[in-house]
Amino acid sequence: MGKARRLANVAVILAVAAFGGALSSHFWPAGSSAMAAVGHHTRVVTAEKFVLVDSAGHDRALMQVLDNGMAGLAVLDTTGRDRAEVRVASDGSAGVGFYDKNGNKVAVVGEGVDGGAGLRIFAANGAQLAALVVSAKGEAALTLFDPKSGLARAGLGVAHDGQPGLVLSDGAGKDRAEMHVRANGKPGLALADENGKTIAGLP
C-alpha cells in the first residue's frame, strides 16, 4: 500500500483532532426568557439574566444571552463553582460541558454547525484524553491522546464508505502503523519510519 493511500486513511481516522475546537472552550452562563404555565393561563417573564439561588441565597444556576448571541445555562455547586453548562452559539452549534471541583473540563458533548457530533474527555490537568466523533458524512472515529503531550497516539475509525482502520502513532504524533480493511474485504497493513516513509506493508 502506497504512502498516499495510507495517509488518506489516517486523515479520516484522526480528523477528530480538528473537530469541535469551540466545544472544548469553557463557556460561561447565558440567560434568556422563561415561560411557565399557571392554571389555564400562560405567564411570560422576560429578562436579560436569570439567577437561581438556594435557601441560603447562594447562586446555584445562571441563565443569560451574551452580546455575541450565545445562549447558555450554568449550574453551580454549593461552593459557587461551575459544574455543568449548556450552550447554543449564534451559529447554531450546541454543547454540554461538565467540570470538576477545580473548574477543569471533564467532558464536553456537542454538535458542530456542520452537523457533526462528538464527545471529548479530559484529564484533571485539562489535557484531552479521548474523543469520539461522528461527522455529517457518517464517518466515525475514536482517538486516544497522550496525556502529557496532547498528541494523538491511537485512532480507530470507519470511513463513510464503510472501510474500518486503525492507526498507531509515536511520541511525536507521527503515524507509524496502520491497518485497514477495504470495501472489497481485502485487509492491509503498513509500517512507517519516523520520516513517514513506508518500510513494510501487506499486501
Predicted local distance difference test score (pLDDT) of residue 42: 61
Is residue 51 a part of any domain in this protein? no
Residue 9 lies in a domain: yes
pLDDT-derived band at 40 (thresholds 50, 70, 90) equals: low
Is residue 160, in this structure, part of any structural domain at all?
A: yes
For residue 1, is it within any domain?
yes
Query: Residue 5 domain-assigned?
Result: yes
pLDDT of 38 higher than 70: no
Predicted confidence at residue 15, as pLDDT, reads 46
Q: Is the pLDDT of residue 203 over 80?
A: yes
- Nearest-Å Rg of the Cα atoms of the chain is 22
* Residues 151-182 pLDDT 10s: 999 999 999 889 999 999 999 999 999 999 99
pLDDT for the residue 43: 76
53-81, pLDDT tens digit by residue? 999 999 999 999 988 889 999 999 999 99
Amino acid type, 128? Q
Residue/partner pairs of 138-145 with CB below 8 Å, 24 or more apart: 139/12, 139/15, 141/12, 141/13, 141/14, 141/15, 141/16, 142/16, 143/13, 143/14, 143/16, 143/17
Q: What is the pLDDT of residue 37?
A: 38
Residue predicted with more confidence, 14 or 147:
147
C-alpha cell at 149: 503531550
**Do residues 163 and 176 make contact, with C-beta atoms less than 8 angstroms apart?**
no
Kindly tell me if the per-residue pLDDT of 185 is higher than 70.
Answer: yes
CB atoms within 10 A of CB 8: 13
Tell me how far apart the alpha carbons of residues 98 and 107 are, in angstroms, rounded to a whole number: 5
Asked if residue 38 is part of any domain, the answer here is no
Lowest mean pLDDT among 24-28, 39-43, 187-191: 24-28
Residue 90 is predicted with a pLDDT of 92
Q: What's the domain count of the chain?
A: 1
pLDDT of residue 81: 92
| Contact present, 72 and 61 (Cβ < 8 Å) | no
Give the domain CATH number at 155.
Answer: 3.90.930.1
Fill in the DSSP letter of residue 89. Answer: -
For residues 147-153, give the mean pLDDT.
93
Asked whether residue 134 is domain-assigned, the answer is: yes
Contact status, residue 96 vs residue 109, Cβ threshold 8 Å: yes
The answer to whether position 188 is within a domain reads yes
Q: Which domain holds residue 161?
A: 1-19+116-203
User: What does the block give as the cell for 193?
Assistant: 519510519
Q: Residue 41: what pLDDT?
A: 55
